Structure 1
Amino acid sequence: MTISMHDVSVPVLVNTLTNMRNWLDKADAAVAEDKLLGARLIEDMRPLTAQYQMASDSAKNGIARLAGLGAPSMPDTEETFAQLKERCDKTIAFVQSVTASQLDGAETREVILKFPSGNGYRFDGLGYLTKFMLPNFFFHATTAYAILRAQGIAIGKPDFLAHMGQPNLTPAEPA
């Protein structure tokens, strides 16, 4: 059985970005927005707003690199939950716009990342997806989740995995 680059990237990113968007609805109902937007896990980490922005960047830039496309520009100007939700929506729309055929052969496409320092990495597409893009995306998604939890927002593992829906197996009837 062959699994496509599209199958292991687009649905994963869309599901998690959708879940992240929904966490903000719970946060909005529970805690003052201005308190949460600047919240951090620890002083030297970036705040909640940046975690959403970086998860978005990881998703849209990563899919664009794999497809050989330009990613949409999204300046990091969000200052409200509504703006973060809109960014999630725009990112989801872009990621979903990339078709399976655009990712055909992406596993061997060369991806070069250069950092401002001049250092960087050279990957083939599969290595980029599995060693950098998805781990980086989930780092920021998980950090956003942890910030919300640390600030008292009532989200849990079912919210992180909300895309799964209700369990589809039920306990067997007693004999």
Structure 2
Amino acid sequence: MSDSVLKRTTEIFTTRLQVLAGLLDTAETQWLEKAESPEALLAARLADDMFPFPHQIVFTCNQPNQFAAWCSDAAAPETDPATLDFAGLKRHVQDTIAYVAERTAGIDDRVLDRDKRIDLPGGRFISFTGHLYVDEWLLPNFYFHLVTAYDILRQQGVRIGKANYMAHLAGRVRTAEAE
């Protein structure tokens, strides 16, 4: 199962959610050091026509939650971003990591043989094969909202950079002497 699409997708979601958890921890620490509440981040958004920070966190988590629910024929958890404070956002990320681990354990790639229909506004819908659902819907939406959350943190003065965003690779970094 080392080359399993589902295992690889689960690992991507899990490691990037761990990165998101780290970004939230960093933001909280820095805001508290400034004697400011991280709750001020809750209204931040990149543009007037975009959803604010809590929505970006919840929408990031929606993709792995929907993936895990689809894999296990379950209903995905639903969370109203407006009901979450900063601590609630952090909990939501951890809950998502746990849900994905629980729901995808023991599932094999045959689930990708199923189709996925997504209903859109205006009575429209889009259908995907399982592989396309992962590659063309879940992962692009996941990264869009993850990067938007990252960008909002940067915009609000949180001192993070690419190393924070790419923290999932830290265990792979080697020195030249290690070769």
Shared fold (TM-score, shorter chain, > 0.5): yes
Does the alignment pair 1:151 with 2:150? Answer: no
In 2, the alpha carbon distance for the partners of 1:166 and 1:11 equals 14
Structure 1 stretches of 4+ with a deviation exceeding 6 A read none
CA drift at 1:59 = 1.3
Does the alignment pair 1:56 with 2:61? Answer: yes
Mapped contact 2:71–2:104 kept (Cα < 8 A):
no
In 2, the alpha carbon distance for the partners of 1:15 and 1:2 equals 16
Match of 1:112, SS state, is strand
Hey, which of these two has a bigger chunk of helix by percent?
2
In 1, the alpha carbon distance for the partners of 2:83 and 2:21 equals 14
Match of 2:58, SS state, is helix
Of 35-44 and 93-102, deviating more is 93-102
Mapped contact 1:106–1:126 kept (Cα < 8 A):
no
Change (3 A) 1:136 1:171: same
> Which string of whole-angstrom CA distances, capped at 9 and with x for unpartnered residues, describes residues 101-148 of structure 1?
324312211100002322121011000000110000110001000110
Alignment of 1:34-113 (within 5 A): 34-99=39-104, 101-113=106-118
Mapped contact 1:108–1:124 kept (Cα < 8 A):
yes
Match of 2:150, SS state, is helix
CA drift at 1:3 = 2.2
RMSD: 2.0
1:130 corresponding residue in structure 2: 135
In 1, the alpha carbon distance for the partners of 2:27 and 2:54 equals 13
CA drift at 1:171 = 2.5
Change (3 A) 1:27 1:78: farther
CA drift at 1:78 = 3.9
2:34 corresponding residue in structure 1: none
Unaligned 5+ runs, structure 2: 32-36
Unaligned 5+ runs, structure 1: none
TM-score of the aligned structures, taking structure 2 as reference length: 0.87
TM-score of the aligned structures, taking structure 1 as reference length: 0.89
1:5 corresponding residue in structure 2: 5
> Which string of whole-angstrom CA distances, capped at 9 and with x for unpartnered residues, describes residues 5-40 of structure 1?
222211111111111111111111223323211111
In 2, the alpha carbon distance for the partners of 1:118 and 1:2 equals 40
Of 144-153 and 94-103, deviating more is 94-103
Alignment of 1:155-174 (within 5 A): 155-172=160-177
